[in-house]
Structure 1
Amino acid sequence: MKKVLAIVISAVALMAGCGGGGDGTSAVEPTGAASRSAAAKSPGGAGQDAPRPLRFEGETLDGGAFDGTSLAGKPVVFWFWAPWCPKCLAEGPDVAKAAGKYKGSVSFVGIGGLEKDKGRLRDFVSRTGTGSLTHLDDRTGRLYSHFKVTSQSSFVFMAPDGATSNASGPLGESELNRHVGKLLG
């Protein structure tokens, strides 16, 4: 009973608001070379050399299949948002600007989650002008869990070698540029 209560309390806390104090504290453990080399490799298949965070499959908001290992070796910005999050809504245009500025050199992937209605996820993308990004449907919260993200808006910045850092939003254009600059060296 205590275990069930703890799960319910955690879920309510996550869904109660956008969470995160914007202080840049980590909800995702950084991944370095030592932890990548210790990570289990998938046997034989595609993506066997991809860093652990990229070993996931998902579905785009358009219904297409998405394989996280396709991002291996590239700098990536994962943006975790929810359609009911005011911070996420406010930063959307800045995310779209950054994605346009770094198009071709950095992949931006939106992960819309914690919402039952897929239509609300699509409406959010339209309202924020982020339709040029790849957006993944995470209504179940599976990708939030995979990346150990506990609040939205949150960002996971992944360097080509698989090292990650994160930040809580909202992040404006200058903050996004600073983080992406670090990815590009």
Structure 2
Amino acid sequence: MLSAAGVLLAAGCSSAPVEQPTFVQPAAAVPDKSDAPEAAPIVVPATLKFSGKTLDGKPFDATTLAGKPTILWFWAPWCATCASEAQSIRDLQEEYGDRLSFLGIAGMGANSEMHQFVKDLEVGNVTHLDDGAGKIWKKFKITEQSLYVVLDRSGVVKSTGYLDDLQLTAQVKALVA
């Protein structure tokens, strides 16, 4: 009959401490940044190289719009057509504003009238510039209101001119598709 000590020795157990193998947790896979494709730098197109002041007098640099499709809306505060477009602009901004930029560029009126237009027609969800001097209107050769300049994400002008609500919506959907 084997003693308990003999059984333990036969089973490979001893009273001497046995060094246990060390298990090393593999390091979490960290992507090698040298293998990852670098994001292409955003190139600012000539069409977005302008600046102005918001209706509140804050500086605005249009280069911040680079890399995103943009619709420039040229309007005047006394323009009935512009007023009729305001709801569509507001609604399109709410629906597509995360994928597309809208920029209102007001001209041919006093700043107080521009503020009143934005307030009355509830288009404060869009940034608006006071271009009373017509500098931005001249850059885009705008001679009347209400006109749109539609830019793709590269800043290429896709269209310039009047768009009714259905045409504007179609342009927006094409840009974000």
What's the TM-score once normalised by structure 2's chain length?
Answer: 0.73
Q: Which residue is 1:159 aligned to?
A: 152
The match for 1:100 among 84, 94, 105 is 94
Q: Which residue is 1:64 aligned to?
A: 58
For residues 58-104 of structure 1, give each alpha carbon's deviation from its aligned partner in whole angstroms, at most 9, with x where no partner exists: 00011111001111111111100001111001111111111111021
Q: Which residue is 1:24 aligned to?
A: none
Task: Report if aligned partners of 1:98, 1:176 keep a CA contact under 8 Å in 2.
Answer: no
For 1:50, the aligned partner's letter is V
3-state SS of 1:135 partner: strand
Once superposed, what is the RMSD of the aligned Cα atoms? 1.7
Q: Which residue is 2:11 aligned to?
A: none
For 1:52, the aligned partner's letter is A
For residues 90-136 of structure 1, give each alpha carbon's deviation from its aligned partner in whole angstroms, at most 9, with x where no partner exists: 11111111111102111110001011x21001011112211110000
Alpha-carbon distance in 1 for matches of 2:95, 2:168: 11
The match for 1:112 among 80, 96, 106 is 106
Q: Is 1:124 aligned with 2:102?
A: no
Q: Which residue is 1:177 aligned to?
A: 169
Percent of matched pairs sharing the same residue: 37
Task: Report if aligned partners of 1:87, 1:170 keep a CA contact under 8 Å in 2.
Answer: no
Alpha-carbon distance in 1 for matches of 2:77, 2:99: 27
For 1:135, the aligned partner's letter is H
The match for 2:78 among 84, 103, 118 is 84
Deviation of 1:183 (Å):
1.4
3-state SS of 2:129 partner: strand
Task: Report if aligned partners of 1:154, 1:166 keep a CA contact under 8 Å in 2.
Answer: no
- Measured at CA, do residues 54 and 133 of structure 1 come closer, stay the same or move farther in structure 2, by a change above 3 Å? same
Alpha-carbon distance in 2 for matches of 1:133, 1:111: 10
Q: How many residues align?
A: 137
- Computing the radius of gyration from Cα coordinates, the structure with the larger value is 2
Deviation of 1:152 (Å):
0.7
3-state SS of 1:53 partner: helix
For 1:161, the aligned partner's letter is S
What's the TM-score once normalised by structure 1's chain length?
Answer: 0.70
Greater helix percent: which structure?
1
Deviation of 1:161 (Å):
1.1
Task: Report if aligned partners of 2:44, 2:63 keep a CA contact under 8 Å in 1.
Answer: yes
Give unpaired runs (5+ residues) of structure 2. Answer: 1-41
Deviation of 1:49 (Å):
3.4
For 1:176, the aligned partner's letter is L
3-state SS of 1:77 partner: strand
Higher RCO structure, 1 or 2 (CA under 8 Å, sep 6+) = 1
Q: Which residue is 1:140 aligned to?
A: 133
Deviation of 1:175 (Å):
2.1
